[in-house]
Each structure stands twice: as structure tokens, then as C-alpha cells.
Amino acid sequence: MFNSLFLTALIIFLLGLIYKVSNWFVKKIVAPGQTITTFQRMRSAAGGIFSVVFSPKLLIVLRVILVDVLLQGRVFREDVTRWLAHMLIFYGFMLLLLMHALDSVVTEALFSDYYATVNPFFFLRDLFGAMVIVGVAMAVFRRYFLKTPRLRTGHRDHYAIIVLAVVMFSGIGLEGLKITSHSEFMRMVEDYAGMDDEEEIQALEAVWVDQFGLVSPNIQGPFDDDLLSAGYEVHEGNCLDCHASAKWAFTGFTMAKLMKPVAVPLDHADGITILWYIHIIACFAGLAYLPFSKMFHIFAVPLCLIAGQVMDPKRSLPANILTRQMVELDACTHCGSCSLHCSAGMIYEALGNEYILPSEKMTFLKKMVYSSPPDDRQMKAIQQGVYLCTNCDRCTVRCPSGIQLRELWYAVREALLVKGPSPAAILTPFSFARGLLIQPTLHADDYTPDSYTHLTLPTTCRV
């Protein structure tokens, strides 16, 4: 059952990853005057990667990986609190993944004396889990209680928080239930201690009830000193080498204390198996849905940050610009930094049009590229949103993911003009911005409404 679930989740994850990456070379916002094939975009990307790897720009890549990816330098400069939450979630989850979920592959290979219930591993597992929970709590507080101005929370944000919360709390609940479980205690006695003396088992059980959080249906404290003394001797001879005190697993031990009143009924109902399935299914569901969720930014953001530093604004090929823009759509974390510092944000507060905010324009872009075309109401709202943009570039400067946002807004304007006529009051500013970006190859007398297909981007606009 476990292997089937894991294999299914892994296949869905890999197929989703292939689908998302392939879209980087297939989808586009708009490319006036250019017919660039998928093969050309892939070839250009491969050539660009090759030229960076075998050039001094490789040092820039390494610096970006260290400062902006691993240390999250751009997030730190933007908001220290959000940086701390992000670091706690990312590193806590990754360390938990490596040391717990992949312990048979990673931890056992690195440490010959590894055993899950001995220190430091017993303590570290709970420490990493606590890091994730604190980070999630900070994210929840920011989105739902702090009421950060202009920060809008969508279903993708809800999903990211919910799936992490379910994975972590089901894991802690499972650990807590194992600590209290009498059937789990008896299984360990049979499998590892090999004891058959009833008096010794009873003495050991008394110690585990007194010190390890075990909830027994047979005996309850307080216990006399002679019984505990005998139990400690049994514990030292059979359990001490492979099981540290449950108190070191501080999150699970706290949960065990909370579950104590219902521990025996849960144990009789095979609660460990139920929680195990909830935990595993939540983990595998998160893995399968990762390429289609907000969490895919863990792959896209590093590429976006690197591309922003190594791509030459004057020499980058149009094919690579199109590909980078698709990566940027997946790199957006919907953090709201761009909207918080948007020069047109005060107009949003007056009009209520969410597409005035840069973060919501990014949401529109994703829908426009990947799903159905916008309806009339959305079209009018996005036209107003990009028209009211002041092109101040504050959103680009503030973006922790390194997205070239102003460039995207120019592309959106062109895409909207290509899709159909705009209201007269908006068309003139659109045309002005379009004229700044595009140089006609036709004589003015030869221009027709469809001749935008013969226009090309000037080299000064190729980033």
C-alpha cells in the first residue's frame, strides 16, 4: 500500500514537473513581429546556459545561489520577519525531509550509529518540525491576522498553508500517540527486548508510565520506589541504548500530554494506523500537487534570480526573454511586496480594482497564459490596471523573486491590444507605451491595423 501510494505520487509529480517545464518553452504572453518555435527557444536556452557556465558569469551564479537562494538575501532586505518565517519553513522542512522521510537513504548513510529514537536524532527531528510549525504560524499571522495592506490571499496561498499544517500536525500527533500507546510499548518489548518475565515487564511498564509518557490500561502511578528501581534496571539493560527519554521529543511529548485523557480509546481504535495514513496521504498529496501549486516556486525562483543577474539587457535573445517570462510567472510567490510598494496602490484603495496591484496582475497573467481567456469584466479591469501603472519600476526593485515586472506589464499591454480594441480613453496611453517599446519596419503610409505583426522589439528593450 505504502509503495503504491508513493509510486503514484512520484509519477504525478514527475509528469507535472515535465508539464510545467515544457510550458516555459511553449507558452508566451505576446511576441510582436516574432515567430519563435519551441525548438528555437530550447536551443537558445541551452546556448545561454552553456555560455554562462563556461564564462566568468559562473561566479555570479554561485553568488546568487549563496546570497539570494540559500540565504534569501532579497527577502531579508525586504522584510526580516517574513525572511525568518521563510527560512524556518524551508530549512526545517528540508532537514526533516532528509533526516526523517529519507533517513534510510541519507541519514543512515552518513551516520553508522543512527537510530530514530536516540539523540541527537530524536531531538533534532522534533526541532526541525517545530521550525516548520513556527514558520507556518508566522505566515498565518501575517496573512490572516496582521492584515498587511494590499496583501490578498487566494486559494493557492490557502493550499500551501493547509498542506504544511496537515503534514506537520499529523506527524506530531502520530509521534504523541506512539508515546502514549500501550500496544506500541508491548510491540517494542517483544521485538527488541525479548522479555517474557511478567514481573520485569510490569516494572519496565511502570517506569515508562512514570517517565516516558506511556498511558497504560493496566497500571497507574504513583509507584513505589522498589518497583521503579527494578524497572530502571530493566530499562538500562534493554532500552537505554536504543531509546532516549521521550521528553527529548518535546513536540511529540507535549502532544502526548494533551492526548492522555483519550490515549487508551485511541490506542484500542488503532489510532496510530489512522494517523499514519493521514500523515502519509498528506505528504504524498503535497508531493503530487507540488508542480501545480504555489510551492513550485522553490524550483522557479532560483532560476529567475540567476537569469535576472546573468542576462544582458542589450544582448539577450528574444527567445530567451520569452522563456524567462514564463519562468517568472511560476516564480511569483504572491507575497505582496510589489503591491505594498506600488505607486498606484492608493488608486486601488479608491477604486477597488484588484488588477491595479502588481501581485494581482500576476495572477491574471497566469490565468491568461494557462487557462481560458478573460471575460469582458476581467478585460476591462486589467486594461484599467495596466493603464494606471506609472512604470516607476518599484515593483521590480522590491520583488524578492527577482521578476522583471515592468517588462511583463509592457508585454500585457501589447497582448491586450492584440486581442482586441481598448476603450478610447485607454488606447492613447497604451499606444504611447507601445510606441516607446516598438520600432516599426514599415513606412508610415504602409501602416495598417494588422501591421503590428511586422514590428520588432528594439535591442534596447531586450533584457
Long-range contacts of residues 111-116, Cβ cutoff 8 Å, at least 24 apart: 115/242
Give the pLDDT score at 434: 52
* Top-confidence range, 143-152, 153-162, 176-185, 425-434: 176-185
| Cell, residue 95 | 532537514
Give the pLDDT score at 150: 81
Alpha carbon distance 203, 235 (integer Å)? 9
Lowest mean pLDDT among 141-150, 263-272, 367-376, 432-441: 432-441
> Span 6-24, mean pLDDT?
93
Under the banding of pLDDT at 50, 70 and 90, the label for residue 313 is confident
pTM of the model: 0.82
> Span 197-205, mean pLDDT?
84
3-class SS of residue 21: helix
Residue 38 amino acid letter: T
- Checking if the pLDDT of 457 tops 50, the result is no
Under the banding of pLDDT at 50, 70 and 90, the label for residue 34 is low
Lowest mean pLDDT among 119-123, 311-315, 358-362: 311-315
φ, ψ of residue 455 in degrees (nearest 5): -100, 150
* Top-confidence range, 163-172, 344-353, 421-430: 163-172
- Checking if the pLDDT of 191 tops 80, the result is no
> Span 372-387, mean pLDDT?
80
Q: Which helix (H) or strand (E) holds 201?
A: helix 198-211
Query: What rounded mean pLDDT belongs to the chain?
Result: 84
Place of cell 508610415: 444
Distance of alpha carbon 315 from its chain centroid, rounded? 33
- Checking if the pLDDT of 351 tops 90, the result is no
For 69-121, what is each residue's pLDDT tens digit? 999 999 999 889 999 999 999 999 999 999 888 888 888 888 888 888 888 99
Alpha carbon distance 230, 200 (integer Å)? 8
Under the banding of pLDDT at 50, 70 and 90, the label for residue 204 is confident
Under the banding of pLDDT at 50, 70 and 90, the label for residue 429 is low
Alpha carbon distance 395, 362 (integer Å)? 12
For 330-340, what is each residue's pLDDT tens digit? 999 988 899 99
Give the pLDDT score at 232: 87
- Checking if the pLDDT of 21 tops 50, the result is yes
> Span 294-303, mean pLDDT?
92
| Cell, residue 426 | 485607454
Give the pLDDT score at 427: 53
Please check whether residue 76 is in contact with residue 68, taking contact to mean a CB–CB distance below 8 angstroms: no
Long-range contacts of residues 433-438, Cβ cutoff 8 Å, at least 24 apart: 433/391, 437/410, 437/461, 438/32, 438/33, 438/414
Under the banding of pLDDT at 50, 70 and 90, the label for residue 441 is very low
Q: Where are the alpha helices (DSSP H) in 371-423?
A: 376-388, 394-398, 405-419
